[in-house]
Structure 1
Amino acid sequence: MPIRTYGREDSDVRLLWTHGGGFFTGDLDMPEAHLVSTELAARADAFVVSVDYRLAGDGVRYPAPLDDVHDEWKALCAERSDARVAIGGASAGAALALATALRTRDGDGRLPDALLLVYPFCHFPNPALDEETRAVMATMPELGRQTPAAVEDMVRTYVGRITDLPPYAMPGAARLSGLPATGILLSEFDDLRPSGELLHRQLADERVPVTSHLVRGVPHGHLNLGADFRGFDESLDFLARLLRSR
C-alpha cells in the first residue's frame, strides 16, 4: 500500500500516522497527513510513516482499511525492535490507530508505546454535545459538521450496517484495558468532541494513562486547515511532547 516517510530513519522514536476522512476520503497529500507528519518528524525528531490505507466504498469495507494500517504497523515495528514506537491518527484515522492497538494487545503484533488520537471518531451512536456547545454550533454552517445523519452515513459506508458493529470497527465499544499511555487532542467546536471525551473517561476507568488537551475556538479537522490556522502550533506541540515522552 502507498506510504510516505518523514524524518531520520535512524531515529529511536517512530510513529505510524493515519489521516482522517470518515473512512472514505483522504490521501497522503492532505495537510492532516503530509503537513502533520512533516511537523511531528521535525518537532519530535521522529521517523514518521504516513499510511494511505484503502478507503471504504466501491466494494471496500471494514476490515480492509484496518488491515492496511495493521499490516504497516507490523512492518514498522519489525524494522527496529529497540525503538520507541507509537501509532496515531486523526478522526477516522484515530479509530484505525486505536483499533490497531487493540489488535496488538489481543495478540497480533507489538503493542505501541504510545497512542496519539486527534479528535477521534470512536463511538456509534456518537455521544451528544453539551447544551452550551450545541447552541453555539447550531449557528454554524452544516457543511463540515458531523451531524447524526453524516455519522450514520460514515458508519454505513465503512461497515455496511449500523447494527451489530464489530468492536474493532468502532473501538470505543471494545474492551479498553491494557492499552499504552494515550494522548487525546480535542477540538472545541466539534460534533465528535463527546466521543473523545467519553474515550478519555473509559480509558481512565481502565487505569490506562490518558491525557487530553482541548484546543479552544477550532472546529473538527482543524489540522487539515493548514499551519496558519488557529491552534495548529498548540496542537502539534502537544502531540510532539507525547511522542517524545517516555
Structure 2
Amino acid sequence: MVLSTGEVPVRWYEAERTTGAAAGPTLLWLHGGGFFRGGLDQPEAHAVARALAARGLTVATVDYRLAPVPLVGRQRPGGGRPRVRFPLPLEDVVSAHREVRRRSPGGVLLGGASAGACLAAAATLRALDDGTPPVGAVFAYGFFHARHPRVRDPAVRSRGHRRVTHAPWALDVANRNYAGSRRALAQRHAFPGGHDLHGFPPALLVHAEHDTMRASGDRFAAELAGAGADVERHVLPGTRHAFLNRPGLAEFATTIARIAAWSARR
C-alpha cells in the first residue's frame, strides 16, 4: 500500500498475482458519503481495495475533496482541507484518473460506491470527452440523477433510520448542496443520469435490494443499456445501502468476488 502525494492524494494497492501473470487494468475506486463525508480509511475504500488486491486487481483510491455538510450553514475552517462544491471534487477524480492512466498499461476501470459511483460515472463521461475512456466502470449501490426518482414499490425503499436520512427529499438536499446551484445541478458532469450516455464503456452495477437509491441505479442501468452500453446488473436480495462499509457481511464478499471476476474479463 503506497500513498502518492501529487496534485491529489491517491492510495495504491498492488495486486497479488501469481508469477508470470499478465497485468490487468487498475480500478480507480471512489468511496461514498453523500459527497460531504468519508475518506481513504473507511472500509468502503480501504477494505474494498485490500480485498480486491488480494484477488489480483490493482486498486487506487482517491482522497477527493468533500462538499460542505448540508444544512449546517457557514462552517468554520478546521485542520483539514477547505470544503468545496462541484466541479472541484470531480476535478480531483479527473486528475487522479490521469495519474492512474499513466501508470497502468493494462488500462483503467472507474468505479465507486454510492456518491462515489456518481462521481465515477461523471469522471467516465469526462474521460470520454477527453478521448481517454476507461475500459469499464463499476458501480455499487450508486445514484446518478440530480433528483432522485420517486417509486411506489416499498421493497425499493430504505429501512430503519435510513427511511428518513435516505428519503428522496433528503437525498435531493445533499445533491443540491454538492452542486451549489440550479445550473450546476443540471450538468451531465454533475449527475450523469438522464443525459447522453452513448459511448459509455461496459459497466457492472451491483444494487442493494432495500435501498431508496436503487431507484436511480435501476434507471441509470436502463439508460446505459438504451445508449448501447454492455451492462451487467445485480440486485443482492435482502441487502441494504452501504454494505461495503461492513466487511464481515456476506454481501461484501459476494460483491468483491463479482467485481474481481468481471474486471478480469476487461
Q: TM-score, normalised by structure 2?
A: 0.84
- Kindly indicate whether residue 241 of structure 2 is the aligned counterpart of residue 220 of structure 1: yes
Describe the SS at the equivalent of 1:212.
Answer: strand
Classify 1:231/1:59 alpha carbon distance in 2 versus 1 (closer, same or farther; 3 Å): closer
In 1, Cα distance between the equivalents of 2:113 and 2:162? 21
- Hey, what does 1:127 align to over in structure 2? 149
Describe the SS at the equivalent of 2:258.
Answer: helix
- Hey, what does 1:154 align to over in structure 2? 174
CA contact (8 A) 2:118 2:143 kept: yes
Tell me the alpha carbon deviations over residues 93-134 of structure 1, each in whole angstroms, 9 at most, x when there is no partner: 01111111101111x252000100111110121112342415
Gaps of 5+ in 2: 1-7, 17-21, 69-81
Q: TM-score, normalised by structure 1?
A: 0.91
- Hey, what does 2:91 align to over in structure 1? 67
Classify 1:59/1:51 alpha carbon distance in 2 versus 1 (closer, same or farther; 3 Å): closer
Alpha-carbon shift at residue 11 of structure 1 (Å): 3.3
Alpha-carbon shift at residue 141 of structure 1 (Å): 2.6
Q: Which has the larger Rg?
A: 2
In 2, Cα distance between the equivalents of 1:237 and 1:87? 17
Classify 1:145/1:237 alpha carbon distance in 2 versus 1 (closer, same or farther; 3 Å): farther
Alignment size in residue pairs: 240
- Hey, what does 2:265 align to over in structure 1? 245
CA contact (8 A) 1:54 1:65 kept: yes
Q: Which amino acid aligns with 2:264?
A: R
In 2, Cα distance between the equivalents of 1:78 and 1:67? 17
Alpha-carbon shift at residue 180 of structure 1 (Å): 0.6
Classify 1:42/1:129 alpha carbon distance in 2 versus 1 (closer, same or farther; 3 Å): farther
Describe the SS at the equivalent of 1:173.
Answer: coil
- Hey, what does 2:10 align to over in structure 1? 3
Describe the SS at the equivalent of 1:30.
Answer: coil
- Kindly indicate whether residue 33 of structure 2 is the aligned counterpart of residue 21 of structure 1: yes
Classify 1:240/1:130 alpha carbon distance in 2 versus 1 (closer, same or farther; 3 Å): farther
* Of 144-153 and 2-11, the range deviating more from structure 2: 2-11
In 1, Cα distance between the equivalents of 2:208 and 2:162? 17
- Hey, what does 2:78 align to over in structure 1? none
- Hey, what does 1:207 align to over in structure 2? 228
Classify 1:72/1:109 alpha carbon distance in 2 versus 1 (closer, same or farther; 3 Å): farther
- Hey, what does 2:138 align to over in structure 1? 116
Describe the SS at the equivalent of 1:217.
Answer: strand
Tell me the alpha carbon deviations over residues 35-63 of structure 1, each in whole angstroms, 9 at most, x when there is no partner: 001111112x1211000100012651100
Tell me the alpha carbon deviations over residues 184-225 of structure 1, each in whole angstroms, 9 at most, x when there is no partner: 01001100001110011101111100010111111111111x
Q: Which amino acid aligns with 1:5?
A: W
Identity %, equivalent residues? 36
- Hey, what does 1:96 align to over in structure 2? 119
In 2, Cα distance between the equivalents of 1:29 and 1:11? 26
Aligned-CA RMSD value: 2.0
Q: Which amino acid aligns with 1:96?
A: L
